[in-house]
Amino acid sequence: MFLSLPVFLLMGLLAGCSGEVAADVSPAPLSGEDRRLLQHLVMEARSAVWQAWQEGPPPRWEDYPYTAERQGIIVRFVAGRKPRGCQAFYQGVGDLALGARLAALDAAFHDARYEPLRKEEAPDLAIEVCIVGPLVPMKGPEDFSLGKELVYLVHPAGSVLMQPSLAREHGWTKRAYLEALCKKEGLPKGAWRDKGVVLYRASVKEWKEPFMQEEGEAPRRE
């Protein structure tokens, strides 16, 4: 997953280490307004992919035209328990609908870790959209709500984030989540303890549903 972030957001606190703590890993509750917004963003993402299947996918990965907004978006595709693409524009997203469409296309057709999505896969796919809140410097490596907040790790050798739904899916503790975060970036699993590491957390509103609305039905845009 390609990660972009304005330089002014890379300020924070040096992370320390403490023991594991049991946590409620249920997702953050949604208001009716949040649910309607997320469902609309899922529709935008789904429609973009359907259109690309019909007219041809974009020839290259496309970045979001970042603004000063302290919010972002993540789109992820899953087939059963198998990841099939993910893209995060996790801050600076002023137009969430545009962000959903671009992230969906990048995840579906330009995530180098996976083969491009095929129309034949649609019945087996699920789509997840996350709205990411402002990044907040963490006071320590346990200063986040497991299953509700994501962690963004800035290491001298790279930077990486991971959405909270993965902690719930895999039954991770906070320590296991941090280790998986490091592994995702190709770092040793204990690299979150290294000198120079900065950790951020962000609240996440998320919605996941089958890619197909009804059997054989393409999406309708409102």
In sequence order, what are the residues at sequence separation of 6 or more whose Cβ sits closer than 8 angstroms to the Cβ of residue 185? 153, 155, 157, 158, 159, 160, 191
* DSSP H/E element including 37: helix 32-55
pLDDT in tens, 120-178: 999 999 999 999 999 999 999 999 999 999 999 999 999 999 999 999 999 999 999 99
Domains of the chain as residue ranges with CATH? 31-133 (3.30.700.20), 135-206 (3.30.1490.150)
Residue pair 119/219 in contact (Cβ under 8 Å)? The answer is no
Q: How many residues does this entry show for the chain?
A: 222
This prediction has a pTM of: 0.84
Q: What is the pLDDT along the chain (222 residues), one digit of tens a residue?
A: 444 444 333 332 222 223 343 445 678 889 999 999 999 999 999 999 999 999 999 999 999 999 999 999 999 999 988 999 999 998 999 999 999 999 999 999 999 999 999 999 999 999 999 999 999 999 999 999 999 999 999 999 999 999 999 999 999 999 999 999 999 999 999 999 999 999 999 999 999 999 997 644 555 444
